[in-house]
């Protein structure tokens, strides 16, 4: 078995554990009507720990898979509170995964394009959060948006240790 196909199998296996847990967190965020709490979920934390271990050895396929997941789960179309709530939940989960990823991935493990993409994600949210999800138009999403910005700041810290 080639190293590339082994890495893909490992990433695929990890994603099979990550996807249902991530979907449950998105649904929980939506069911709580914006009151997204930071529930202790040992299974989710264990998947994030596994993600960190995999990031040390096969960072490119893992980050590419996370980016594809983010794209596929991000809502398209309507600009209503429910859509923004789902978008924020997806971004929170993506950001949590990227924090663990960045804490463990060696700098030489990713291409400049992928590192820049993570940095752009961070700065885009820090600069444009109020334009994307206005506190005035969507006051019910203030807590969830605040959680995302906390996670974005943590990701910025993790990236700054590497870059």
Per-residue confidence (pLDDT) for residue 7, from 0 to 100 = 78
What is the four-CA torsion angle of 89, 92, 98, 100, rounded to 10 degrees?
A: -120
Alpha helices in 32-111 (DSSP H): 42-57, 59-73, 81-104
pTM: 0.89
**Could you read off the pLDDT of 14-61 as tens digits, one per residue?**
999 999 999 888 887 766 654 454 556 788 889 999 988 988 888 999
- How far lies 42's CA from each of 10, 45, 95, 154, in Å? 21, 5, 18, 20
Q: Positive or negative, the Cα torsion across 119, 124, 127, 129?
A: negative
Q: What are phi and psi of 133, to 5 degrees?
A: -135, 95
């Amino acid at each position: 078995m080639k190293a590339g196909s082994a890495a893909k199998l490992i990433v695929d296996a990890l994603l099979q554990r990550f996807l249902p847990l991530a979907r449950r967190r998105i649904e929980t965020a939506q069911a709580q009507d914006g009151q997204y709490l930071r529930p202790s979920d040992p299974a989710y934390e264990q998947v994030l720990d596994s993600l960190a271990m995999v990031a040390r050895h096969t960072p490119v396929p893992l980050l590419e898979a996370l980016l594809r997941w983010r794209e596929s789960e991000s809502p398209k179309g309507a600009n209503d509170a429910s859509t923004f709530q789902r978008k924020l939940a997806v971004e929170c989960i993506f950001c949590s995964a990227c924090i663990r990823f960045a804490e463990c991935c060696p700098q030489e493990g990713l291409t400049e394009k992928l590192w820049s993409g993570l940095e752009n994600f961070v700065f885009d949210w820090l600069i444009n959060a109020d334009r994307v999800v206005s506190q005035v138009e969507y006051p019910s999403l203030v807590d969830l948006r605040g959680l995302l910005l906390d996670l974005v700041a943590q990701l910025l810290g993790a990236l700054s240790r590497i870059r």
